[in-house]
Amino acid sequence: MEIVRVNSEELENYPIEDLIDKFVYNHCKPGTGKTRKIHQILDYCVENELKVMVCMPNHDLIDEFNRYNEYNSAHFWGKEYYCSMEDLEKYIPGCRECRIKCMYKIQKEWGKERPIIFIVPQHLFFVNEYNPDVLIVDESIEDLVYDCIEVPELLLESLEFKEIECSECPTSSTCRGRDRGWKFGFCYSKLIKKPEINNFTPSTTDDYFFKFSVDQLENIYAIQDEGKWKIGGVKNLSFLNDIPTIIFNCATTDIDITERMFNREIDLLLEDSTELENKIYALNEVMTISKTENFIDQLQEFFQFFQIPADERTLIFTKLRFEEEIRNIFPDVQIGHYGMSRGTNQYEGVRYVVLIGRYRLRDDHRNLLKMQGLTENEIDRIEISEEEQAFHRARPLLYNNVKVYLLTNTLIKAEVVKPTVELKRNHFRIITEIMDKKDQLNGMNRKQIFSEIKGHNYDVTTGLYLLEDMGYIDNMDKKGSKFTWTSGAQF
């Protein structure tokens, strides 16, 4: 594997011809120009008469990508959007060759005639029909390859679940519960072999999509969690092996996982050499659901102290379960949830980014991923990547005046970012005490303040630094400096 470290300018100027006939992993961070590079690659492919398919996470991102560039291309929305057949017929792959000249047929003709085809991950199977010279996959496809599907309740009677013994379990060598029993190990519910579907004919679209998804999976297992059954397996992408050039753009997917997903060794790895220069305030605590709920109650005071504007200049990312509650508190702030951040460039006007709470897969999903051969570290990286994607939505690499507030320690622990200031919840108590006693502390030096404020001297020093940084008190770095509340400072 050849590894090349580049900054934004070097990536922009990297020769396109050096990417052809290789499996290229563009692993540069968001904001370094990965999407701009796609435009250059498309121009090169058209000029050299190469057929190219571009796979993006969703149709909205394809529309966003094409907004300012007019390509002679086909955007495959899928049969279900255009087929005139009724009921399930419009969802079954392949044309029934009816007499109606629908947009689905026209779309397929465009795909043959035009040099560029845009698809979403669910339509990667079109590769077999159009045989592109170049495939560009923009953003991670882990959710597609390592699929996790909830079994519709009405279909449970059609499925037969067979239990497996510990000796048959792919994760038995690393199971922490073997000596203590499953109740106290990670196998809190029984893992089973591939479910068998008995005499099952789809009658609704939900039935059909479930069966269609399961039929595409290999190495299938299921697990029960809170009364619901989940099925997980691996989608084999070996049909991509014959494509001469694959370019995979993603800032966060592990190299080992990438090679396993594509069944192919990476020839060229592009990594960015740009360092962050932004101010990053990070709360170094594991933000569980209960801790996050408690912190949301103090969120308005947090915004007020750090002078974070409650308008469109601020972007908040959190877990889906907290999104509506936070939106009610800050109706004018831009708010999203983990899992929806990949690829979009719509937040470039944002100057404050706040991540609230950690992203974590459910235990049943983690266990199904383990059954597919992923290690604990690889599953952790999948979780970390969602927060990392959210962190980069405002393009801090491009704009060093973007301030970031991490109310989660995931990215610190993983050493993805190095905070300017590492916060503890105790710091907020110290700051509150200092502000309550500001008249009493007026004129005192740092040593005198240490004797008046409860807490370790280091934590009190951090509290004073934050007050200085926000302009509430005058700078106390110089020897003999006194505590002085800044004229006009309000909280």
Per residue in 151-166, pLDDT tens?
887 777 777 777 776 6
Q: What is the pLDDT of residue 201?
A: 72
| Rounded Cα distance, 320 and 284, in Å | 22
Q: What is the pLDDT of residue 188?
A: 41
Q: What is the pLDDT of residue 180?
A: 44
| Rounded Cα distance, 93 and 79, in Å | 7
Confidence of residue 363 (pLDDT cuts 50, 70, 90): confident
| Rounded Cα distance, 82 and 178, in Å | 53
Q: What is the pLDDT of residue 344?
A: 65
- Average pLDDT (110-128) is 89
**Span 305-320, pLDDT tens digits:** 999 999 999 999 999 9
Strands (E), 40-195: 52-55, 73-75, 116-119, 134-138, 146-150, 159-160
Q: What is the pLDDT of residue 491?
A: 53
Residues 6+ apart with CB under 8 A from 23: 245, 246, 248, 262, 264, 265, 266, 267, 268
| Rounded Cα distance, 80 and 89, in Å | 9
Q: What is the pLDDT of residue 184?
A: 42
- Average pLDDT (332-353) is 83
DSSP 187: -
- Average pLDDT (263-274) is 92
Confidence of residue 186 (pLDDT cuts 50, 70, 90): very low
Phi, psi of 205 (to 5 degrees): -65, -35
Per CATH, 280-412 and 424-491 having the same topology is answered no
Q: Is the pLDDT of residue 198 over 80?
A: no
DSSP 474: -
**Span 19-38, pLDDT tens digits:** 999 999 999 988 888 888 99
What share of the chain has pLDDT > 70, as a percent?
A: 86
Confidence of residue 182 (pLDDT cuts 50, 70, 90): very low
Q: Which CATH number fits domain 424-491: 1.10.10, 3.40.50, 2.120.10, 1.10.150?
A: 1.10.10
Q: Which fold has domain 280-412?
A: Rossmann fold (3.40.50)
| 161 vs 476, residue with greater confidence | 476
User: What is the CATH number assigned to the segment(s) 2-143+238-272?
Assistant: 3.40.50.300
Length of the chain equals: 491
Pair 148, 230: CB distance under 8 Å: yes
**Nearest C-alpha neighbor of 359 from the set 318, 323, 321:** 318
Residue type, 131: N
**Span 39-61, pLDDT tens digits:** 999 999 999 999 999 999 888 88
| 368 vs 279, residue with greater confidence | 279
Boundaries of every domain in the chain? 2-143+238-272, 145-235, 280-412, 424-491
Cβ neighbours around 390 below 10 Å, total: 28
| 212 vs 179, residue with greater confidence | 212
| 454 vs 373, residue with greater confidence | 454
Summary mean pLDDT of the chain: 85
End-to-end CA distance of the chain: 55
Q: Is the pLDDT of residue 67 over 80?
A: yes
Q: What is the pLDDT of residue 411?
A: 92
| Rounded Cα distance, 290 and 357, in Å | 10
DSSP 456: -
Judged on CB neighbours under 10 Å (0-12, 13-18, 19+), 118 is: buried
Q: Is the pLDDT of residue 354 over 90?
A: yes
| 162 vs 10, residue with greater confidence | 10
Pair 267, 23: CB distance under 8 Å: yes
Residues 6+ apart with CB under 8 A from 197: 158, 159, 211, 214
Q: What is the pLDDT of residue 107?
A: 78
Residue type, 257: I
Q: Is the pLDDT of residue 185 over 70?
A: no
| 25 vs 129, residue with greater confidence | 25
Strands 403-407 and 352-356: parallel
Q: What is the pLDDT of residue 181?
A: 46
Q: What is the pLDDT of residue 179?
A: 46
CA 459 to chain centre: 33
- Average pLDDT (263-282) is 92
Q: Is the pLDDT of residue 210 over 70?
A: yes
**Ranges 57-61, 344-348, 380-384: which has the least confidence:** 344-348
Look up the pTM and report it: 0.83
Confidence of residue 207 (pLDDT cuts 50, 70, 90): confident
